[in-house]
Each structure stands twice: as structure tokens, then as C-alpha cells.
Amino acid sequence: MSSDIEKSVTVLGLGPMGRSLAGAFLAAGLPTTVWNRTPGRGAELVARGAVVARSAEEAVAASGLTVVCVVNYDASDAILRQEAVSGALKGRVLVNLTADTPDRARDTADWAAAHGIGYLDGAIMTPTTTIGSPAAVFIHSGPTEVYRQHRPVLDALGGVHTHLGEEIGRAAAYDIALLDIFWTAMAGYAHALAVARAEGVTARELAPFAKGIGAILPPLFEELAEDVESGSFSGEGNPITSAVSSMTHIVHASEAHGIDASVMRAAEGLARRTIGLGHGGDGFIRIAEVLGRR
């Protein structure tokens, strides 16, 4: 493989995130080849110096390192597992920043190994607007030496990069867990806005107080993680019996306005199940242990 190819990068997938990744590589002065299943999304990148490949096979053959970022692993498999593309990737390195499950990451790693392809799995934990800036956050898993060798190119994407270990599914496991926090919190906020509006409180009026509630969470996350690791599940400050009482109030207030309370009913149900198992004096995070029981 020539030195020019080793210093270049290919990006497969030109959705909003893929375009941001390619733009960051270009801004860092790296020769960048791009390809997208639907033509026409690379015009701005071409104006900045990118080369648009005619096919996925041509795209991966242009660089020693290929970064793929599409909607899920069904989409990435449809691109990568074509015989011509697999063959062109042989002896090169693939970094998959597509979001999916840990098992899909492991399956893709097995496929890559069988085809002589170096493989790193990863996830992007911040929005498109952060890419190329210090605010970006990336997590990676896979062979340490492959990560070390290609870290200088990945650094062009900006921000903080963390290698979570050689077990290939770890990045996806972190991603799933962290997105679990994000989307359940967003669902809670959407529900809160609906209830507030029904009571005559506007979203703009509630927002600064919602921000205050959000600020309580980071130190709680660390404190409760220690509870889970130690198995203490202390409910001294706020036992789960107290928590379930406030959940019940939210359900009643919501349903009095005809607002679907299924999200809170699910949380309340978990709390009542935990109390029924004899843990009423424990803290709310005991639910994590109950959920994990076989």
C-alpha cells in the first residue's frame, strides 16, 4: 500500500453526520474520498477538495482507512458485505461509527476478521455541530494496536477519543446505555411539557426550572453508581416508597387531563415491583438490580 493511500481516509455515508466527519477530515488537510448510496450529497465536500467515488468499492480502495457512518448495521452490511467491497477492504482498516447493538458489532468484527480487514467499532456521543471541535466525544473498541496506529487520523475529528478496550462490543454497549439515559430523559421532558401546558404553564416558563432539575442528575449518577457497585442501595435520604408516591401523583395529574401516562406508569410499576420484593426501604436505584435478575 502506497504512503499516499496510508495518509488518506474514505467516508462511506453522507447523511448529516457523515458529511460532518468528512468535513472535519478535509479541514485537517487529509485527502478524503467520499461515497453515498444516493448520489448528489457530496457537492459541498467536493468544493472543499473531496473526491467522490463512483462506487463503494472504488471508495474503500482509495484509502488505507475507511470510516462508515450510516443509519444502522443493516445499512452498513448492505454496503460492506458486497464481495467487491469486501475484497477491496482486505489488508485495510475499517472504523464503523454506525450505531447499533453490541452483538451486531461482534458479528461485523467476525466478518472483518474472516476477510482480512482490520476493524474498530465506535460511537459518536455528541451532535453533528461538535464534529471537528473540542466538544466532540468519540468512543472506540477493538484491537489496541489498530487503534493506536490510526488515532492520529481519528484525532482530525476533534474532541475526546476514548479506547474502551479490545472487546469489540464495548463501544456499542456504552452507546446503548448512554442513549437509554438520553431518550428516556427526553421522553420524560416531553411528557412534563404536556402536563405543564395542561396546567397553564408554558414550555418557556418551565425550561429554567427543568434545567435546574437536570443539574441535580450528574452528581446523583456518580453517587448511585457507587450504590450499585457496592450493593448498598441506600434509601436513607429518599426510600423508594416515597418515590413511588410522587410517581402516582404524576400519573393521576396526567390522566386527569387525558394525557397518556404510560411512561410514568411503567416507572411506577417497576418501583412497586421492587417494593413488593421487599426493598421498600432501599433507594430508587435498587430497580437496576431487580431489572437485572434472571
Q: What value does the mean pLDDT take over residues 92-111? A: 98
- Are the C-beta atoms of 135 and 159 separated by less than 8 Å? yes
Locate the domains of the chain by residue range: 3-167, 202-291
Q: Rounded to two decimals, what is the model's pTM?
A: 0.93
> According to CATH, what is the number of the domain 202-291?
1.10.1040.10
Q: What value does the mean pLDDT take over residues 35-52? A: 94
Least confident of 6-10, 30-34, 47-51, 229-233: 6-10
Instruction: Provide the pLDDT for residue 237.
Output: 86
C-alpha cell at 62: 482509495
Whole-number average pLDDT of the chain: 96
Q: What value does the mean pLDDT take over residues 137-155? A: 98
Provide the percentage of residues in the chain whose pLDDT is more than 90. 95
Instruction: Provide the pLDDT for residue 7.
Output: 80
CATH class, domain 3-167, is alpha beta
d(CA 49, CA 46): 5
Q: Pick 6 or 30 by higher pLDDT.
A: 30
Instruction: Provide the pLDDT for residue 40.
Output: 86
Q: Residue 173 pLDDT more than 60?
A: yes
What pLDDT digit, counting tens, does each position of 103-126 carry?
999 999 999 999 999 999 999 999
Q: Residue 279 pLDDT more than 80?
A: yes
Q: Residue 155 pLDDT more than 90?
A: yes
pLDDT-derived band at 92, boundaries 50, 70, 90 = very high
Q: Residue 3 pLDDT more than 60?
A: no
What pLDDT digit, counting tens, does each position of 203-254 carry?
999 999 999 999 999 999 999 999 999 999 999 889 999 999 999 999 999 9
